[in-house]
Structure 1
Amino acid sequence: MRVGVVFPQTEIGPEPAAIRTYATGVQDLGYDHILAYEHVVGADPEHYHGWTGPYDIHTQFHEAMVLFGYLAAITSVELVNGILILPQRQTVLVAKQAAEVDILTGGKYRMGVGVGWNPVEYEALGQKFSLRGKRIEEQIELLRRLWTEPNVTHVGTFDRITAAGINPPPVQRPIPIWMGADSPPAFRRAGRMADGWFPQMRPGPDLAAAKRIVDDAAREAGRDPDRIGMEGRIQYGPHGSDAVADEAFEWERLGATHICINTMGAKLPNLDEHLAALRAVWEKIGRLTRTPA
């Protein structure tokens, strides 16, 4: 099982030196990958009365693909979107950006995608929130073509390309596409289309039910469920590294191929404390890791 970390971008600050210190510190500890959330814009809760979203205009987010270009130059860990809100972005531009990140990392890039939850952001980026489920399915198929075919013609509901392609192509052909999933339609989509999925729940009955949906959808699509990766996310909390280790071993028992340790939201006061927490966790769960083939 490969073990990564969630980049604590809402707390780490905008200084490049802090980003470098965190990323190289994570690599030096032995973690396999850095996963980054994404939002392009935040909503102003004073305008949107009753706003209940977890992030707003006051929450800092680095742009994920630009961030990855920087991280690729200073680390050799795998870089992972967790997730990129694909339907609010231009498909061909995403394909080009992803190919570039894959090249800069030497093929150590994994694209996690999802439909998101914020209609304010969709409006700002010129896309329709109500069509995001349908759009992502067309986008995934088109992305894989753009990464593997030098010349693409495509006429779809949402995108049109006439005899065009991206160059240079990515190292991985195609780049692995993983899906964030927190509802039955998303579970089924992951089973039908994705190389892996990010469950949005902890081990327990809800996860077992979700995995059954993913596996059943994979079989119905003629795919082998055992070839679909699963990455659990573990929140670092008040019980510290012991609780994280217990949950990590439970994810291992359930067959997770990856886990990711999230120190964001743990009320850690500074960058040093984030790294100290990850150091304590690594000392307990480092044996779970294996060297990628």
Structure 2
Amino acid sequence: MQIGVILPSNEIGADSSAVRRFATAAEELGFAHLVVFDHVVGRPGGDDYAGRLWREPFVLLGHLAALTSRIELATGIVILPQRQTALAAKQAAEVDLLSDGRLRLGLGVGWNPDEFDALGRDFHRRGRRLDDQIDALRDLWANERVHRSVGTADERGGAEVLDGVGLNPLPGRDIPIWIGGRSAAAHRRAVTRSDGWLSNFQQHITADRDDFVAAKASLAAAAGGELPAGFGIEVWTSPGRTDEASWADEAAEYAALGVTHLSLRTDESRQVALGPPRTLAEHLALLERYAATVPLG
């Protein structure tokens, strides 16, 4: 099981130097991957989760690719149905090339209709659209010329017609696609169209075990009874909520349950109102303590 970190963009804020320091420190400490999130617009004020501070994931990961050399760069998730398919394929390919093949592209359908309205796409067709988009991404990354359409003319935003066009340069590999979400549709999409599942489970394993086991069984059922070979499963954990002495046991238990990727979320103070946001130094100190306590290799 590989252990990585989630960028706490809400808490470290708009200070670009803090973002850079967090990412490079994560790599220096030996964490295996760095996860970033995606929201394009939100409503300022109130309790709108999407209205908080979010970086643009492709731009951010392209920047971090130049500052790191080993750590995997992951999105958790990009809300692809609200984006242009060919452009997203191009952006992902470019990040993968700039990072020497370190991108893991997490995708999902999203939940905020405001973003779809702002970007001119149909919120209610987002699941079907994502299925079409995943096929188009694979096609665009593998072939010099692509002949397919994404969407239909009667939906908001219309069809995207790829008529003998392609990307240049190609990424040189089939970039790993993972799917986020807990619905039956997300489970089906994950096992039939992707390389892994972003579970979004983020409590301590003692609270989530039964739900996680049930979700894994749902995935296997959607796959016809058994998960595909090499299929990945990512879970989030918040070490700041639990006793330091339990961290290694928790990681071992996740691994025993079949988790392949464990991601540390250090910004849970704002998530569950446990206190004021952490400073960058506090985030880094938590990573350092975890790396000293739990074997990362």
TM-score by length of structure 2 reads 0.88
8 Å CA contact 2:238–2:264 kept in 1: the answer is yes
User: 3-state DSSP class of the match of 2:90?
Assistant: helix
AA at the equivalent of 1:67:
L
8-17 or 119-128, larger mean C-alpha shift = 8-17
Q: Which residue of 1 aligns with 2:101?
A: 107
Q: Cα deviations across residues 66-101 of structure 1 (Å, max 9, x unaligned)? A: 001110010121100000001010000000000000
Q: 2:279 aligns with which of 245, 270, 275?
A: 270
Q: Which residue of 2 aligns with 1:166?
A: 167
Q: Cα deviations across residues 36-64 of structure 1 (Å, max 9, x unaligned)? A: 01111112456xxxxx64332xx111111
Displacement of 1:170 in angstroms is 0.8
AA at the equivalent of 1:271:
L
Q: Which residue of 2 aligns with 1:279?
A: 288
Q: Which residue of 1 aligns with 2:20?
A: 20
Q: Which residue of 1 aligns with 2:213?
A: 208
Find the aligned partners of 1:179 and 1:242 in 2 and give their Cα distance: 32
Displacement of 1:268 in angstroms is 4.8
Find the aligned partners of 1:250 and 1:53 in 2 and give their Cα distance: 34
AA at the equivalent of 1:195:
D
Which residues of 2 match residues 147-186 of structure 1 at below 5 A?
Answer: 147-157=141-151, 158-171=159-172, 173-186=173-186
User: 3-state DSSP class of the match of 2:179?
Assistant: strand
Q: Percent identity?
A: 42
Find the aligned partners of 1:268 and 1:243 in 2 and give their Cα distance: 23
8 Å CA contact 1:234–1:247 kept in 2: the answer is no
Which residues of 2 match residues 45-56 of structure 1 at below 5 A?
Answer: 53-56=48-51
User: 3-state DSSP class of the match of 2:162?
Assistant: strand
Unaligned segments of structure 1, at least 5 residues:
47-51
8 Å CA contact 2:176–2:195 kept in 1: the answer is yes
User: 3-state DSSP class of the match of 2:120?
Assistant: coil
Displacement of 1:156 in angstroms is 4.0
266-275 or 236-245, larger mean C-alpha shift = 236-245
8 Å CA contact 1:181–1:198 kept in 2: the answer is yes
Q: Which residue of 2 aligns with 1:63?
A: 56
Number of matched residues? 278
User: 3-state DSSP class of the match of 1:286?
Assistant: coil
User: 3-state DSSP class of the match of 2:105?
Assistant: strand
Q: Which residue of 2 aligns with 1:191?
A: 191
Task: Please provide the CA RMSD for this pair.
Answer: 1.8
Find the aligned partners of 1:126 and 1:240 in 2 and give their Cα distance: 46
183-192 or 131-140, larger mean C-alpha shift = 183-192
TM-score by length of structure 1 reads 0.89
Q: Cα deviations across residues 122-172 of structure 1 (Å, max 9, x unaligned)? A: 11111111011110000000000000011101134343110100011114x
8 Å CA contact 2:219–2:227 kept in 1: the answer is no
User: 3-state DSSP class of the match of 2:283?
Assistant: helix
Find the aligned partners of 1:107 and 1:238 in 2 and give their Cα distance: 34
AA at the equivalent of 2:49:
P
Q: Cα deviations across residues 196-239 of structure 1 (Å, max 9, x unaligned)? A: 0111225412111111121122237xx85232111111123333
Which residues of 2 match residues 125-136 of structure 1 at below 5 A?
Answer: 125-136=119-130
Find the aligned partners of 1:96 and 1:106 in 2 and give their Cα distance: 15
8 Å CA contact 1:231–1:257 kept in 2: the answer is yes
Find the aligned partners of 1:216 and 1:43 in 2 and give their Cα distance: 38
Find the aligned partners of 2:44 and 2:262 in 1 and give their Cα distance: 33
User: 3-state DSSP class of the match of 2:268?
Assistant: coil
Find the aligned partners of 1:113 and 1:155 in 2 and give their Cα distance: 19
Unaligned segments of structure 2, at least 5 residues:
152-158, 270-275
Q: Which residue of 1 aligns with 2:242?
A: 239
Residues 285 and 137 of structure 1: CA distance in aligned 2, closer, same or farther (over 3 Å)? same
Q: Which residue of 2 aligns with 1:49?
A: none
User: 3-state DSSP class of the match of 1:61?
Assistant: coil
